[in-house]
Amino acid sequence: MKSALNGLVPSLILLGFLLIGGDLLAGPPGGGGPGGQGGCIPPPCVPIDGGISVLIAAGVALGGKKISDQLKSKG
């Protein structure tokens, strides 16, 4: 039973990568707008505001905790 799983699991993982690989390599949807733009108005259509805000908040929280831990260990 265990030897059957040793061959089956890697085969299923490989099959999954092969089936998903085409979707990962596909180009973005959308047509060619003026100047090669993808039809997004206004042109910078990347939603980076939420992710960057979360990363900045996490960095500030981690930095504050590290400073707090250093002050507790010294005093």
Count: domains in the chain:
1
User: Which residue intervals of the chain are DSSP H helices?
Assistant: 2-25, 49-74
Rama region for 64: left / alpha / beta (φ>0; ψ in -120 to 50; rest): alpha
Q: In whole angstroms, what separates CA 33 from the centre of its chain?
A: 27
Nearest to 54 by CA among 62, 43, 46, 64: 62
Indicate the pTM of the whole model: 0.38
Q: What is the pLDDT of residues 10-60, one digit of tens each?
A: 888 888 777 777 666 666 665 555 555 456 666 667 666 677 788 888 999
Residue 50: both structure tokens together = 């939420």
pLDDT at 55: 86
Is residue 28 a part of any domain in this protein?
Answer: no
Q: Is residue 26 part of a domain?
A: no
Domain that holds residue 55: 41-75
The C-alpha atoms of residue 2 and residue 31 are separated, in whole angstroms, by: 51
